[in-house]
Homo-oligomer: A and B are copies of this chain.
Amino acid sequence: MLQTARTTLKRLPQRGSHDLDVIHAILDEGLLCHVGFVHEGQPYVIPTTYVRVGDHLYLHGAVASRMLTTMGRGAAVCVEVTLVDALVLGRSAMHHSMNYRSVVILGTAQDVTDVVEKRRALEALVEHVVPGRMAEVRRPSPNEIAGTRVLSLPITEASAKIRTGPPIDDEEDYALPFWAGEVPLKMVAGPPVPDPRLAPGIAAPATVTGYRRRND
């Protein structure tokens, strides 16, 4: 049921996919999602962290968050994740593009009230951002879990959109004396910056010094 009329690409459908493995891989690589919801007739888009666990996406925030309150009431939402892989430079201005992988999920979210599921989601969120990190921190206390709102969104109506490869120029433009190709882009981690209050003798762990987002 991933593909519905609403998640079927109307333009360039060859770039679309409803393959669950493709969708999961993009969600697992991304750091931030962009949540769209409607409040008093106005659409809002809010960036936030997330984690996929099985076939659900989990979001979290303050109990009073407007976004989570709206979502918790069963409002329709849209969650979008986009990874930029390269700039695509054609020989003409209008054939510049980007290589990217994106996912859009439509649906309604539910408040997670079960404490075990909440803890699992919150800890998975930390692991999603920094794999291995949960073994190196204080775990959430019952009070912290109670004071945090967690919502789950089923990944049931979703699509991926992917562009790869070189520019597609107009046939007559290939003879132009201009460079064309791709400029790969990658999110990379710099050297860790210790907290000014870090106690002496605590070295940055391998989860941090070896941090990389992409498996390449």
**Chain A residues packing against B (C-beta within 8 Å):** 6, 10-11, 31-32, 34-38, 41-47, 49, 62, 64-66, 76-80, 82, 84, 86-87, 89-94, 96, 98, 100, 102, 104, 106, 122-123, 126, 129-130, 133-134, 136-140, 144, 148, 166-167, 173-199, 202-205, 208, 211, 213
Contact = CB atoms under 8 A, between A and B. Distances in A.
Leading 4 A-B pairs by shortest Cβ distance? A184-B190, A36-B45, A36-B43, A92-B138
A134 B175 CA distance: 18
B38 A38 contact: yes
Contact of A187 (B43, B79, B187): B187
Contact of A179 (B65, B106, B136): B136
A179 B203 CA distance: 7
A84 B194 contact: no
A208 B89 contact: yes
A53 B117 CA distance: 47
* Number of copies of this protein chain within its complex: 2
A126 B178 CA distance: 15
A42 B78 contact: yes
A43 B6 CA distance: 11
A198 to B, nearest CB: 6
Contacts of A102: 47
